Amino acid sequence: MTPAAMPSLSTRELSIRFGGHVAVNQVTADFYPGTLTVIVGPNGAGKTTYFNLMSGQLPATSGTVLLDGADITRHGAAKRTALGIGRAFQLTNLFPHLTVSENVRLAVQSRARIGMNMFSRWSSHTDLIVRADHYLERVSMAGRRDTRVAALSHGDKRKLEVAILLALEPAVMMFDEPTAGMSVDEVPVVLDLIHQVKAERNKTILLVEHKMDVVRSLADRIIVLHNGALVADGNPAEVMASAIVQEAYLGTPEHA
């Protein structure tokens, strides 16, 4: 892996305190286009909170978040999304009473409004449907396009979230345990998709993941958080073998 010279996303001494508890403690890291970084660590280590600080769901107590070198620390989540940080949430960004296709169309429209792809806000209805169908095909859900989201299985909802994320075409893609709660036959669809996005080499991909087989299969780089602090950062073989990871995370039987 040869990272591009410029990181797309960086954090500098990023911290958040909840009362007396420092959930993320002075985390400094750079994330590069073409690199998939997995953030691991024990329960409560601060992984999701670190994600929330980067995507703007939580305001930092101190430290900085940079996107393409620009300080976005004070920007809220919507602004960060518009600037190119996309996150597959844990089912919180779906409209349950709309159909699968309508949910993806909203993302396509939202991307068009940002005005950086070939679709203008005046795109025809047919264009929108064709584009939405394209993303649904990528997650093997074209057959469910007219189903209301509320009627989907958990796994299909997760796949739909990935379709929505793809439709937003963000430069930075953040996935929170993308296969959590999926059935064994649904997992490969999502993992294949992340592999495909990764193969395009232009996206900065961040993943929080507990399942070590998923980590092994996808990671170019692993970051380990422990008690809110970054305790290891490097290529997967090095990090997995490090004493700190063995003690802090892998000392107990793997989260399979």
Ligand X SMILES: Nc1ncnc2c1ncn2[C@@H]1O[C@H](COP(=O)(O)OP(=O)(O)OP(=O)(O)O)[C@@H](O)[C@H]1O
| 144 secondary structure, DSSP code | G
Smallest gap from Cβ 220 to ligand X, in A, equals 21
Q: In what side-by-side order are the strands of the sheet with 9-18?
A: 21-31, 9-18, 62-67, 70-71
Q: What is the x/- site pattern for ligand X, positions 25-64, by CB under 6 A?
A: ----------------x-xxxxxxx---------------
Count the Cβ atoms, other than its own, within 10 Å of residue 150.
11
Which residues make Cβ contacts (< 8 Å) with residue 84, sequence separation at least 6? 67, 170, 171, 172
User: Which residue, 23 or 173, is less far from ligand X as judged by CB?
Assistant: 23
Q: Which of 176, 225, 254 is nearest to 44 (CA)?
A: 225
Q: Is 155 in the site for ligand X (CB under 6 A)?
A: no
User: Which residue, 11 or 48, is less far from ligand X as judged by CB?
Assistant: 48
Smallest gap from Cβ 166 to ligand X, in A, equals 24
User: Which residue, 50 or 135, is less far from ligand X as judged by CB?
Assistant: 50
H or E stretch including 214?
A: helix 212-218
Smallest gap from Cβ 226 to ligand X, in A, equals 9
Site for ligand X in 99-118 (CB under 6 A): none
- The torsion angles phi and psi of 34, rounded to 5 degrees, stand at 85, 5
Q: Is 23 in the site for ligand X (CB under 6 A)?
A: yes
Q: Are 108 and 116 in contact (CB under 8 A)?
A: no
Please give the size of the binding site for ligand X, defined by CB under 6 A: 10
Handedness of CA 131, 137, 143, 147 (dihedral sign): negative
Q: Is 18 in the site for ligand X (CB under 6 A)?
A: yes
Tell me how far apart the alpha carbons of residues 252 and 234 are, in angstroms, rounded to a whole number: 21
Q: Is 252 in the site for ligand X (CB under 6 A)?
A: no
User: Which residue, 2 or 252, is less far from ligand X as judged by CB?
Assistant: 252
Q: Is 224 in the site for ligand X (CB under 6 A)?
A: no
Smallest gap from Cβ 27 to ligand X, in A, equals 11
User: Which residue, 44 or 234, is less far from ligand X as judged by CB?
Assistant: 44
Q: Which parts of this chain interact with ligand X (CB under 6 A)?
A: 18, 23, 41, 43-49
